[in-house]
A and B are shown apart, each in its own frame.
Chain A
Amino acid sequence: QSVLTQPPSASGTPGQRVTISCSGSSSNIGTKYVYWYQQLPGTAPKILIYRNNQRPSGVSDRFSGSKSGTSASLAISGLRSEDEADYYCAAWDDSLSAYVFGAGTKVTVL
């Protein structure tokens, strides 16, 4: 069972906005930055959002991150077919002295 809780799936039609939640605790999200990774089918993960809401160069501005208290969210606006992937939230956990991932959310474009 993951320390960070994500919904297993999310979906939307092209052009829609999809939001993925990530719930943690005071030992991780509550006191640490949140990171989001995208894993396209059959490929290695890629960093999508760092330090809660920062995008690496090359990442579309359709992706945005936010954090409030012990929860975080990833939003995908203007959904496209190429956004179909698994999305993982992550953070350092002080109690575990370990980096923890959420279980992942599979995004489907209908």
Chain B
Amino acid sequence: EVQVVESGGGLVQPGGSLRLSCAASGFTFSSYAMNWVRQAPGKGLEWVSGISGSGDTTYYADSVKGRFTISRDNSKNTLYLQMNSLRAEDTAVYYCAKDHTFGGVIVGDYYYMDVWGKGTTVTVSS
């Protein structure tokens, strides 16, 4: 079964750091781009970041650029999101999501998420 499972969420103070992980199984991890998408309480979806299958290409939403870093370890089938300088507005459920297109290259026009995890909750509060 193709699945992704997030972990690492929790309560952190403003200005603090947290690293999220996403364990993938059931597919050739290195052959697919991966994403983080978040959803603040009662709000809509916000794409946070994407990374190519090889890890050499990354994209970020303006709201997290310079504070968050996406990375992957293809030997461990795991995706990461390092979050620094956290703010209250980063409070959300963070979803890990797999790109549909085989090959691992991020091609904007064909980019969409076909497998989602259940999410991990990040709360930024003092």
Contacts and interface: CB of A to CB of B under 8 A. Distances in A.
Given A2-B44, A98-B60, A101-B47, A56 B114 contact: yes
Contacts, number: 61
Contacts of B9: none
A46 B116 contact: yes
A100 B100 CA distance: 16
Nearest to B116: A44
Interface string A83-109: 000101010111011111111100000
B11 interface: no
Contact of A92 (B44, B60, B111, B114): B111
Interface in B90-110: 95, 100, 108-110
A96 to B, nearest CB: 7
Nearest to B112: A35
Interface residues of A, number: 28
Contacts of B116: 44-46
Contacts of B109: 32-33, 92
B78 to A, nearest CB: 19
10 contacts: A33-B109, A44-B118, A56-B114, A88-B45, A90-B47, A92-B108, A93-B108, A98-B62, A99-B50, A101-B47
